[in-house]
Amino acid sequence: MVYANQTAIALNNTALTITWKRKDGSAAEAALISGETVSDKALTVNKNNLSTSTSKQLTYIAYVSYADPDTGLTINATADITFAMLTTGEDTKSAWISGEQVFKYTAAGAVSPAQITLTANLQNVTMGKWQYKNSSGSWKDYPTTSDNASITSTTLIVKPTHSIFVGQSATLRITTSDDNIGDTTSIYKVQDGAPGGEGSPGQNASIVFLTNENITFAGNKDGKVAATTKTCNVVAYTGTTKVTPTVGTPTGISGVIDLADVEPIDPTSVEAVKTNIPDLDKALGGFGVSQVIVLSGRSGEGKSTLSGLILLNAIEQQWKCCAYSGELSKEKFQEWINLQAAGSEYITLKHSNTRGCDVPVVPYEVSRRIRDWYRGQFYVYDNDGFSEESEHARILRLFTASARRYGCRVFLVDNLMSSLADEEEEFRAQARFVNDLKKFAKRFGAVVMVVSHPRKTKKGESIEKADVSGASALCCCSANIHWISCRVKKKMMEMEQYRKTGIIA
């Protein structure tokens, strides 16, 4: 619409002329291009020229000229309108698995489909690999077979005969180039019940699952999430027949459960890491998963040695481990671990000119065999690099990544004071860190050992719970507390578990 002296001028007025130009970003004005046409002095754009624009911003300029019949004067004016191409979610990283989730068995044992093809859908990340969860709860690489020559492809063929099922279900996941991005899905075997004899037919098995166990809400690079609805369907089968489930409303109080409804546990079958210290294992049943274990004692009494021994024993039991040492470089940490792994039989003495005495060393060939033994099972925090994160945050982030990518479930923080050396309000920081470690242990079913120095005590005094650094946080959050004390020139180990105390010779 064009106005002159507050009067509307029709576009078909012969005294009115309009010339259109275009400008790409801050470039010079130019003539209109394909997809931009002028008819009856009006500009029409019928092509998405923004997509090919260099700057992703186009400005259309109208040069207006009107010869006023009353005054005989020519009025010139300019107007412009700018369009910008906005993209949402270009920087979002996401990954999700699509594909069927059910193998159906008849009463005679016939199965359909014969195989399921899963697809990894990736956005702004690259494919890592396919893994499955074994009966111990550890993530293992999917077996390579003639069906899957590579587990790094974005598609995976799953057959009911593959050795990935635990009972009647299999849990699978994908890893990606970003440790925090991935997806998990489950595949189930369902079966019709066998016909009964003279009596009633056998009952069909029932199963209920969600169509997607991981829902992603994509955000843009500014962290904003667009309003959207994600659907997660509840799917139910009775035998091989799909049925419509009735989804009820939870009753009672969230977070409170009737004690009678708690399923009893068998203390003889609790998943735990054996320390291979007979009296300690007898007293505690090993170090149970989802727990924080505190090792404390005076300097030089064996806290770090004990933790190293337990890590090596865990590896022997096929647990994967990850350790943080605030006092040792990764090279010195490896030397310390290798000395323990080698044992006195395979350690030699070598003269050190700088020390002026013989020092114990592990011969290279022995060291190589030890490293081959724990390769892929033992990971160590690399403290050579510089990070803007607090040590507390970085340890938790890298522990989480190690649990997800490598399947680590036994962790060591040696020691608490060095891991929080850069934190303010020391004891509050200890409380936060230990509480976060407890949540981490429960989330991943992990065993987390924390080495903590006691406060200074007088010579000859025994170490009590209150003497442990950060005692209130450690003692409240930890399942077990172990003091390592020296009495009558003989190494003794005291332990406290819940309300029990004792001495382990």
pLDDT of 179 strictly over 50: yes
For residue 462, is pLDDT > 60? no
| CA 490 to chain centroid | 44
Residues 122 and 17 in one domain: no
Instruction: Look at residues 55, 84, 113 and tell me which one is the last residue of a structural domain.
Output: 84
- CATH number of domain containing 168: 2.60.40
Does the pLDDT of residue 463 top 70, yes or no? Answer: no
Question: Measured between alpha carbons, how far is residue 324 from residues 35, 304, 379, 451 in Å?
Answer: 62, 11, 9, 10
Least confident of 61-70, 229-238, 265-274: 229-238
Structure-model confidence comparison of residues 456 and 232, the more confident one? 232
Q: For 50-99, how does the pLDDT look when each residue is reduced to its tens digit (9 = 90+)?
A: 888 888 889 999 888 888 777 777 888 888 888 888 765 556 788 888 88
Same domain as 26, residue 149: no
Q: Residue 112 falls within a domain, yes or no?
A: yes
Mean pLDDT of 190-204: 63
Q: Residue 419 phi/psi, 5° resolution?
A: -70, -20
* Residue 79 pLDDT: 82
pLDDT reading at 459 higher than 70: no
Judge if 143 and 59 occupy the same domain.
no
210 with 126, same domain: the answer is yes
pLDDT in tens, 112-141: 999 999 999 998 899 999 999 998 888 999
Residue 191 or 16, more confident: 16
108 and 72 housed in the same domain: no
Residues 292 and 394 occupy one common structural domain: yes
Q: Does 260 fall in a domain?
A: no
32: confidence class by pLDDT, cuts 50, 70, 90: very high
Over range 383-397, report the average pLDDT: 78
Residue 250 covered by a domain = no
Residues 365 and 321 in one domain: yes
Q: What angle do CA 164, 167, 173 make, to 5 degrees?
A: 40
The better pLDDT of the pair 465, 364 is held by 364
Give residue 105's pLDDT.
84
Which range, 210-214, 289-293, 452-456, has the best average confidence (pLDDT)? Answer: 289-293
Q: Between the CA of residue 205 and those of 126, 239, 257, what are the distances in Å?
A: 39, 5, 28
Containing structural domain, residue 26 = 2-84
- Note the pLDDT of residue 16: 86
Q: Write down the pLDDT at residue 429.
A: 74
Classify residue 181: in a domain, yes or no: yes
> Looking at residue 261, what is its pLDDT?
86
pLDDT for res 422: 45
Q: Would residue 262 count as lying in a domain?
A: no
Q: Give residue 348's pLDDT.
A: 92
Q: At a CB cut-off of 8 Å and minimum separation 6, what does 200 contact?
A: none
Of all residues in the chain, the percent with pLDDT exceeding 70 is 79
Going by pLDDT thresholds of 50, 70 and 90, the confidence category of residue 490 is: very low
Same domain, 58 and 104: no
Q: Is a pLDDT exceeding 90 seen at residue 415?
A: no
pTM over 0.85: no
Q: Is residue 436 part of a domain?
A: yes
Co-location of 418 and 336 in the same domain: yes
Instruction: Check pLDDT > 70 for residue 212.
Output: no
Picking from 56, 84, 112, the residue at the C-terminal end of a domain is 84
Q: Give the mean model confidence (pLDDT) for residues 203-213.
A: 71
Check residue 251 and give its pLDDT. 67
| Residue-level pLDDT at 277 | 86
Could you tell me if 289 and 212 lie in one domain?
A: no
Q: What is the predicted pLDDT for the residue at 46?
A: 92
Looking at the fold, whether 45 and 132 belong to one and the same domain comes out as no
Of 6-20, 357-371, 483-497, the range with the lowest mean pLDDT is 483-497
38/35 Cα distance (integer angstroms):
10
Establish if 256 belongs to a structural domain.
no
Q: How confident is the model at residue 497 (pLDDT cuts 50, 70, 90)?
A: very low
For the ranges 66-75, 249-258, 332-341, the lowest mean pLDDT is seen at: 249-258
Mean pLDDT over residues 149-167, rounded?
92
Residues forming beta bridges with residue 238, ordered by sequence position:
206, 241
Fill in the amino acid letter for 487.
Answer: R
- Indicate the pLDDT class of residue 286, thresholds 50, 70 and 90: confident
Domain boundary among 84, 112, 137: 84
Q: Out of 102-106, 351-355, 478-482, which region has the weakest mean confidence (pLDDT)?
A: 478-482
Q: What's the gap between Cα 186 and its chain centre?
A: 18
Residues 6+ apart with CB under 8 A from 170: 132, 133, 158, 162, 164, 186, 187
- Quickly count helices (H) and strands (E) in the chain: 8, 31
The mean pLDDT value for 196-224 works out to 67
In a domain, 257, yes or no: no
Of 5-14, 15-24, 82-91, 204-213, which one has max mean pLDDT? 15-24
| Total tally of structural domains belonging to the chain | 3
CATH code for position 405: 3.40.50.300
The reply to whether 99 and 51 lie within a common domain is no
